[in-house]
A = this chain, B = another copy of it.
Amino acid sequence: MPTTVMDMLRAYPADLSGVDRDKLARAIEECVTCTQTCTACADACLAEKMIADMLKCIRTDLDCADMCGTTSAVLTRQTAYDVNVTRPVVQACIAACKACADECEQHAHMEHCRICAEVCRRCEQACNDLLGSLG
C-alpha cells in the first residue's frame, strides 16, 4: 500500500505533538490497515457456511474497525494535541484490538481470521508502544 503517513508527518508546518515520531507513524499505519482488514474479516465471516459460529467474530470486527478508524484520525492530528484525549482513545483501541485478536485466533483455520488476528495483534502492540511514550 502506498504509504504517506511519515511523509505527511514530516510535512506538518509546525512543531509535532512531542510524541515519538516513529512510534506514532507505526501506530497510525497499523490502525489504518486494521480498519480495512477488520471490515474485510467481518464480510468474510458473513460468507462462511458456519456463520452461526461467527457472530462474536463479526461483532468484534465491526467494533475494531470503527475504533481503529477513529484512532488513526485522532493520532494523525497534530494541531492542539491533548494527551488527555489521545491516551484514553489509544487505550480503547488497544482493548478493541485485543478482543478482536483473541476472537479471531480461535478461528485461525480460516485464512481471513488468521490474517486479521495477526493484524489486530500488531495494532495492539503498536498502540501499546505508543502509549508508553505519551507524555
Chain A residues in the interface with B (C-beta under 8 A): 1-5, 7-14, 28-30, 32-33, 35-37, 39-41, 43-44, 46-48, 51-52, 55-56, 58-60, 62-63, 65-67, 69-70, 72-74, 76-80, 82, 84-85, 87-89, 91-92, 94-96, 99, 110-112, 115-116, 119, 122
Structural contact, B111 and A11, CB atoms closer than 8 A: yes
11 further interface pairs, Cβ-Cβ under 8 Å (given A5-B40, A8-B44)? A4-B40, A4-B115, A8-B116, A11-B44, A11-B112, A11-B115, A12-B47, A12-B112, A63-B74, A63-B85, A85-B92
Contacts A2-B33, A8-B44, A37-B4 given; indicate if A74 touches B66 (C-beta within 8 A): yes
Asked if A78 contacts B47 (CB within 8 A), the reply is yes
Contact of A47 among B47, B79, B119 (CB under 8 A): B79
Each complex incorporates copies of this chain amounting to 4
User: Closest approach, in angstroms, between the C-beta of A41 and any C-beta of chain B?
Assistant: 7
A-B CB proximity, top 9 nearest: A1-B3, A11-B111, A8-B40, A56-B80, A11-B112, A92-B92, A88-B92, A14-B47, A59-B80
